[in-house]
Amino acid sequence: MKSLELLVERIILSSRWLLVIFYLGLAASLAVYAVSFAYKFYKVAINVFAYDEADMILAILGLIDAALVASLIVMVMISGYENFVSRFDEAENGGEVSFIGKLDSGSLKIKVASSIVAISSIHLLQIFLNATQYDNAKLMWFTIIHLAFVVSALLLGFLEKIMAKAKAKDS
């Protein structure tokens, strides 16, 4: 019976390596998104003198939004791999990537939620800059959805703070 238990445990622990497929897929999607960003940047650059101030602000907000999404992808890839698959050798050997190994699943959730709030904020700002294209009901719903993201991020932060205090008491 003990050998069956050991076999099951080895299979379960080895299955974490299947996550690598997802992280490689995220890396490929980041490359595709980089091409999309380059195209957006090209459109902004060739229209720099044609855009009025509002259009330029909207275009730049689109680029900022893309950068935040790309950062979110990188954060999920690195911390997910580090937390669930394997430690990076670079981090253990005093490598140049000092942030690796510092994101546990709790802080990752907070960073992801914060990134989502930032992305939502940019989208909401873009919508408000084009408010004439939306009716009041849609503007209200966009704002309510954004506020739901904000409240979720705040609650995650609060829960993480409670968990940190509980861990400190246990230590």
Structure tokens at 102: 């510092």
- On the CB side of 97, CA atoms within 13 Å amount to 15
Is pLDDT of 45 > 90?
yes
Confidence of residue 48 (pLDDT cuts 50, 70, 90): very high
> What pLDDT does 99 receive?
58
> What pLDDT does 49 receive?
93
Between CA 88 and CA 61 the distance in angstroms is 34
Confidence of residue 37 (pLDDT cuts 50, 70, 90): very high
Can you give the pTM of this predicted structure?
A: 0.73
Domain boundaries, the chain: 2-170
Mean pLDDT of the region 18-34? 95
Nearest CA-CA partner of 154 in 162, 71, 169: 162
> What pLDDT does 29 receive?
97
> What pLDDT does 35 receive?
97
Is pLDDT of 76 > 70?
yes
Give buried/exposed letters for 55-86 (b at 16+ CB in 10 A, else e).
eeeebebbeebbebbbebbebbbbbbbbeeee
Q: For residue range 115-164, list pLDDT tens digits in order.
A: 889 989 998 998 988 888 898 999 999 999 999 999 999 998 888 888 87
Q: For residue range 84-104, list pLDDT tens digits in order.
A: 788 777 655 555 565 565 666
CA distances from 14 to 10, 27, 45, 64 (A): 6, 22, 48, 39
> What pLDDT does 20 receive?
92
Between CA 149 and CA 59 the distance in angstroms is 24
- What does pLDDT average to over the chain? 86
